[in-house]
Amino acid sequence: MAAETTDLDELRDRAQRWLDDDPDPASRDELRAVLDGLPGSGPELADRFAGPLTFGTAGLRGPLRAGPNGMNLAVVTQAAAGLVGWLADQGGEGPLVIGYDARYGSRAFAERTAQVATGAGRPALLLPRPLPTPVLAFAVRHLGAVAGVMVTASHNPPQDNGYKVYLGAQLGGELGAGAQIVPPADAGIEAAIRAVGPLVKVPLGPAGKVLGDDLVAAYVERAAAVIDPSGRRDLKVAYTPLHGVGGAVLTAAFARAGFAVPGVVPDQAEPDPDFPTVNFPNPEEPGAVDRLVALARDRDTDLAIANDPDADRCAVAVPDGAGNWRMLRGDEVGALLADHLMRRGVTGLYATTIVSSSLLRAMCAARGLPFDETLTGFKWIVRAGGGSEPLVFGYEEALGYCVAPEHVRDKDGITAALSVAELAAGLKAQGRTLTDRLDELAAEFGVHHTDQLSVRVDDLREIAGMMARVRAATPETLLGHRVTEAKDLLPGADVVILRTDAARVVIRPSGTEPKLKAYLEVVEPVADGDVAAARTRAHAAVTTLRTEVSTALGL
């Protein structure tokens, strides 16, 4: 009992010190209410002070709440001060460009970042309004900025927000110009953030220069230029930005490229931080694109496209010929886009990640094109090959595609949507569809059937327990075949890879959500041109594989 009292007193003292330094009256009131609820609110207070948010796969990300283990004005002030200090220590010169989405707190966090930058004597350029993440990534390169910050939580639930950092060419090098940070920059920035003293001593300047719409116009023009100007444009598209910030930019890009403006899901067209029509604003989640499919069916469109709320991801749905629609997997869209670029004669490095399908590797091997495989995250994909070959295309199975690295060195849901539309319009002119092209690829390379086992948890210790279990009792067989490779990527990455001659499993914690993910793949040869039969066999095999992996994880 005495130990519990001591822990509670220590927590109370830490919270009071935080209150004394918190610049936001609203979050101070919020934390005082938690303190007033002690001792009953002890677990909540402990969670808020469990530790500071740290840079993960996509920078800082967490729930909007007071305390160091949340996204709030104090945490953002500290992060901005650390980043600006690190840039100065590295000798970085030039402006910091800052973008933000339409989530709660995003604009205030962006403006505070600009104030910290100008307070330190560094120019700050603020995007003109809530805009997609790829516009910020483009702006870092286009404006020659020393770095960029994007305030967004992408497709996380409404209660979250986040803070992504990009470096310009000066400190990131040519490969990392306009790309998300990687080691050792992330550790250096993290250390600089922890070294920031009292926030009351962080000097604040004006909120920087607000950029004009000419920047957005420049992005739209470059995006439209990604596709062939002589290509077909006869295509009807249904679209949703899922209450995010992609709608105006995507429709402008489609019009600039010569396509008919897509029909937009009416009650998801405008940014809304509550995301009222979906349980999770992620097009991969069940039910998230139901309204999109309904619109596509009602208008008899050729294609349905969804962006996630910050429009760096692109989801695609297609009619199946029997009056139904199905979502294409990220691996299917990745293969289609890669094949499309290859058929257009685009040579250079093609890259994906260790959790994506092995089909791209097979395509590159057959067509004599360089290929590389990286850890998950576009910060690694855009640096694939180490510069030995120019990257021309990269993708990851989580609906992220980079079709024009010289335009945006990150995943970009706008240019991906344009490229899918270009491919679909060309096939339509031949009386064919995206699924026809997928069947052609399967006939040539075999059916590469992928699926995912995703386990959402309330306590991150559950994920650690599942990873420990699979490491301690690694399966010796999968689908009746001997496991020929069991690779553990620790300490570099918390990933376990299992391979047989017929299947592959990759298990890892999510870098952005409280989930454990197991990525499943079965490759089934096509006999006598019967793709449908091979798909049926592959689907059955993946269903069995899912059960085996669930057992190995103790589910």
438 and 430 in contact (C-beta within 8 Å)?
A: no
545 and 520 in contact (C-beta within 8 Å)?
A: yes
What would you measure as the largest C-alpha separation in the chain, in angstroms? Answer: 78
Mean pLDDT for the chain? 95
Q: Is 234 exposed, middle or buried (0-12, 13-18, 19+ CB in 10 A)?
A: exposed
The answer to whether residue 57 scores a pLDDT higher than 90 is no
The answer to whether residue 548 scores a pLDDT higher than 50 is yes
Query: In which band, very low, low, confident or very high, does the pLDDT at 2 lie, cut at 50, 70 and 90?
Result: very low
Query: In which band, very low, low, confident or very high, does the pLDDT at 158 lie, cut at 50, 70 and 90?
Result: very high
Query: What's the average model confidence in pLDDT over 269-284?
Result: 96
Instruction: Provide CB contacts within 8 A for 217, sequence distance 6+.
Output: none
99 and 148 in contact (C-beta within 8 Å)?
A: yes
The answer to whether residue 6 scores a pLDDT higher than 70 is no
Q: What's the whole-model pTM score?
A: 0.94
Q: Where are the beta strands (DSSP E) in 382-468?
A: 391-396, 400-402, 447-456
Query: What's the average model confidence in pLDDT over 489-493?
Result: 92
177 and 140 in contact (C-beta within 8 Å)?
A: yes
Active-site residues, by number, are 154
Per residue in 428-469, pLDDT tens?
Answer: 999 999 999 999 999 999 999 999 999 999 999 999 999 999
Per residue in 505-523, pLDDT tens?
Answer: 999 998 777 899 999 999 9
What pLDDT, on the 0 to 100 scale, is given for residue 4? 53
Per residue in 349-405, pLDDT tens?
Answer: 999 999 999 999 999 999 999 999 999 999 999 999 999 999 999 999 999 999 999
Per residue in 105-142, pLDDT tens?
Answer: 999 999 999 999 999 999 999 999 999 999 999 999 99
Q: Are strands 209-210 and 124-126 parallel, antiparallel or unpaired?
A: parallel
Residue 82 vs residues 52, 56, 195: alpha-carbon distances, Å? 14, 16, 7
What pLDDT, on the 0 to 100 scale, is given for residue 1? 40
Q: Are strands 371-374 and 349-353 parallel, antiparallel or unpaired?
A: parallel
What pLDDT, on the 0 to 100 scale, is given for residue 395? 98
Q: How many CB atoms lie within 10 A of CB 222?
A: 18
